[in-house]
Structure 1
Amino acid sequence: MSDGATIAFFPEAAYGPALNSVGIAQVCRDRGHEPVFICDPSMEGVFEDYGFEEHYVPMSDPDADAGWEEFINTHIPNFDKDPIDQLDNYVEETYDAIVASAEWAETELPEVLDEIDPDLIVVDNVILYPSTKQYGVPWVRITSCSENEIPDPNIPPHLSGARADDVEHYHEFQGRYEDVIEDVHERFNDFLEEHGEDPYPRGLFYETSPYLNLLKYPERLRWDRWNELDPDRFQYLNGCIREENESYEVPDLDAADDAPLLYLSFGSLGAGDTDLMKRLIEFLGTQEYRCLVNVGDYEDAYNDFEVPGNVAIESWFPQQTVIDRADVVIHHGGNNTFNECLYYGTPAIVMPYVWDGHDNATRVDETDHGIKLHRSNWTDDELAGAIETCLTDETIRENVDRTAEDMQSSDGRKKAATLLEDVLETHG
């Protein structure tokens, strides 16, 4: 059954999960399978660029007025808040939008699945789409977000940013989260009931697969769970770095050719806070480093801004290539950048905004793979000191080197493809 199987990948409509799935799909294709992608129309072309067939399922009202940029601008003031104080604004509104995306998707998803007729469905999302579970073929869950998206009483709650030893914070955050999310979760359970599914415990929006669950998380940074995950159903991939063939030459900058190379990227979300980005760029201009800054879709905001001579800004960089060459990366804690820094052995300064960026920032800091800083509440001396520590601290350098060696030797893409073939062989 595993020979020439049609595998439907259904990642969240965001570049992190999308590109993670691309890495696995590339190996599946090389092994003679036919990977196809289910995606929101907003992701059109992302998978075709890698040679994969796309099938579109709308996940939002096409006539809605509010767009992504407006959503970001509304929440920029909330990005400075502690994770627990983001629950009744950013987190609640985001889950409300996620539930709406599932409601929209279910109107067309069953027909799209019939059109594809997959042998296996692989979902990388934060919410259950009932059709993927009910279609009648094995389904696999990928967890691209932080490992604690699969909860355990002995580890910090998802989105909390709590340290591993801060048990008091666990309970405070979890209680507040369940209170804030109550109305949204009731709506979600009504949706499940409409589609023949049992309700979920409050706070949960997805279940684990009875077939296979793949965690992108690096094993060397995993938490100490009370209930260990069954290896027959749960496997760590140690990252999942896609194959890219992009070269990049660092432009001539007003800094020594052998000066350390810094890369700054806050993803599509953080790039919207152009005031903070400009403050960071001005700071980098005072340092004796070569600096590359990803400003995303907001390059026009810098038309009248004087970029320092040692800094190059672009709307896009070949990130894996740049991270591999960088000496330090400053980022927002997004899962792709989090994993790519560890995979290439590059220390990171993580300045989280929202979501699992808080968890990833804390984990990098408490395992000595880099440093966590508040995204805006820092002084020039503090940030300069953090960069210097990442460049020179022997413990950090040794840890990132060991983790990189472990992740690269694991080859998460090939491991995932092999495990998917095992599911097809056993349950197909």
Structure 2
Amino acid sequence: MTGHLNMGVNVARQLATSAEHRVIYLTSQEAADKKLDKLLGTNVEIMIEPEPGIKIWQQLTDNNYWLETGLLSDGLLAYEKASIIFNEMKSIDNLDSDNQLLDQVLAVVKPDLIVTDFSIVYPAIARSGIPLMRIWITARLTGIGDRLLPPHGSGLPIDSKPEIFAEFNEKLIKPLNAIWKPYNNYLVSMGCQPLPENVLFPIDNCLNIYAYPKEMDQLYEQIKPLPKNVIRFDHMLIESDFDGQEFIIPDKLRDKSGKLIYFAMGSICASDRQNMIRLIKMLGKSQHRFIVSLGNRLDDYSLPDNVWGQPSLPQLSILPLVDLVITHCGINTICETMYFGKPMICLPVFGDQYDHSQRIYELGFGIRLDVHKCTERQLLGSIDSLLTDKVMAEKLKKISQRIQYKIS
């Protein structure tokens, strides 16, 4: 079992408990120390990567990297941010080192099934002949492209003309090909089948699963139905996710008037200290109350009277209590917020966040704003607008009931 996100952790837990399989979760020491508390007390065995670990992903999980490259700023367009990430993945030296590590692990573990959230193929896995299940860590645009679908990470409207989609894709061809060509040559040299042109992970030879609420995914399904080996879930939460500690509304907010709102930008996006402070100052002028997931760069910032926050918060315990969510629109937060039927103000920063935000806006589940350029009037006006939208509230309530009924 490999992976680093909540989805992978929950799949591991479910396999080890409900299905009673022996599950070995391969991860880094850093992730084991900080992010795998949900595996404590389960039958999942944690296997720490031997040094040097899966190097190809280390930069992409480093908050400083995102700040230093400008990926969190407003100075780059969506396709330019995608190009920077592509460039980070192009080192074949790192890929070969990581592949040797996986060869060693598979020789020791000898699994009957490999579950991974990697977005590229490793020869060690491809040549093993072991059945493979891949978790898409974003939604369907990650793995299923079509000239009639918006390109992954574009945030373009679903009803845009195909030539608009083609124009975005054209801007990515050169940086994508710069990765694909040496990567494909490497795979062939290692005895693997060649890849389709500019495809890093073909989906045909494995089971693919992803989380996305049906009501959001339906726009894609109408245009490009899923292949039989791709399965969508409304979420990848399991019942024990809701057995955590009760969240008590802080004294600072408890006796104040106004609706209760949750503001969370994810650990990476919250690293943009300057913009987080700008947004929090705006919220300080609202008549409502705010619970904020601050990340690790706002420990010395004095919050307004109507704002309370901590570096990290129990999101699943907070969401049932609030009336609205302000979010960067990462896939986990999208699924969890839809589970509880809350409207969203979307502030996307990079990648699939643009796509999720646009779908939420198009379907009438929330409002999309520019995270760097939205004004105080736009942000506070959007909050008031969503909180008084009874039609939207009823629609989201029915979606929440449908999703929750399915697992009750």
TM-score between the two structures when normalised by the length of structure 1: 0.84
Moved more, 312-321 or 174-183: 174-183
Classify 1:320/1:195 alpha carbon distance in 2 versus 1 (closer, same or farther; 3 Å). Answer: farther
The one of 138, 147, 162 equivalent to 1:145 is 138
1:318 alignment counterpart: 314
Contact 1:264/1:331 (CA < 8 Å) preserved in 2?
A: yes
Residue 207 in structure 1 maps to residue 195 in structure 2: no
What's the counterpart of residue 273 of structure 1?
272
Structure 2 partner of 1:363: 359
- C-alpha separation in 2, matches of 1:321 and 1:185: 42
Question: Relative to structure 2, which stretch is displaced further, 281-290 or 125-134?
Answer: 125-134
Q: Percent identity?
A: 24
Out of 385, 390, 400, the position equivalent to 1:404 is 400
Question: Hey, what's the Cα distance between the residues in 2 that align with 1:39 and 1:68?
Answer: 16
Instruction: Label 1:182 to 1:23 Cα distance change in 2 as closer, same or farther (>3 A).
Output: same
Identify the range of structure 1 (163-172 vs 184-193) with the bigger mean alpha-carbon deviation.
184-193
Deviation at 1:255, TM superposition (A): 6.7
1:61–1:104 CA contact under 8 A, matched in 2: no
CA distance in 2, matches of 1:298, 1:253: 22
**1:59 pairs with 54, 60, 71, which one?**
54
Alignment-derived partner of residue 29 in structure 2? 41
Give the match for residue 156 of structure 1. Answer: 150
- Which residue of 2 is the match for residue 131 of structure 1? 124
Q: Aligned equivalents of 2:374 and 2:323: distance in 1?
A: 21
Mapping of residues 381-400 of structure 1, within 5 Å: 381-400=377-396
| Residue number in structure 2 paired with 1:286 | 285
RMSD: 2.5
Structure-1 residue corresponding to 2:164: 169
> What secondary structure is seen at the aligned counterpart in 2 of 1:173?
helix
Distance 1:84 1:395 in 2: 35
- Relative distance call for 1:381 and 1:92 in structure 2 (3 A) is same
Q: 2:69 aligns with which of 57, 71, 75?
A: 75
The 1:230–1:258 alpha-carbon spacing in structure 2 relative to 1, beyond 3 Å, is same
Cα distance, 1:100–1:369 mapped onto 2, change above 3 Å: farther
Deviation at 1:78, TM superposition (A): 5.7
Shift of 1:130: 2.7
Where does structure 2 lack aligned partners over 5 or more consecutive residues? none
For residue 417 of structure 1, what is the aligned residue in structure 2?
none
Unpaired runs of 5+ residues, structure 1, are 1-8, 415-428
Give aligned pairs, total. Answer: 392
Of residues 151, 172, 178, the one that matches 1:183 is: 178
Report the alpha carbon displacement of residue 220 of structure 1 after superposing the two structures with TM.
1.6
Decide whether aligned partners of structure 1 residues 67 and 117 sit closer, same or farther in structure 2, where only a CA change above 3 A counts: closer
Kept after mapping to 2: 8 A contact 1:253/1:290: no
Q: Does 1:30 align with 2:9?
A: no
| Amino acid corresponding to residue 139 of structure 1 in structure 2 | L
**2:79, 2:59 → 1: CA distance?**
29
CA distance in 2 between partners of 1:299 and 1:380 (Å): 20
Match of 1:108 in 2: 101
Query: 2:131, 2:382 → 1: CA distance?
Result: 46
Question: Which position in structure 2 is the counterpart of 1:423?
Answer: none
> What is the Cα deviation at residue 361 of structure 1?
0.8
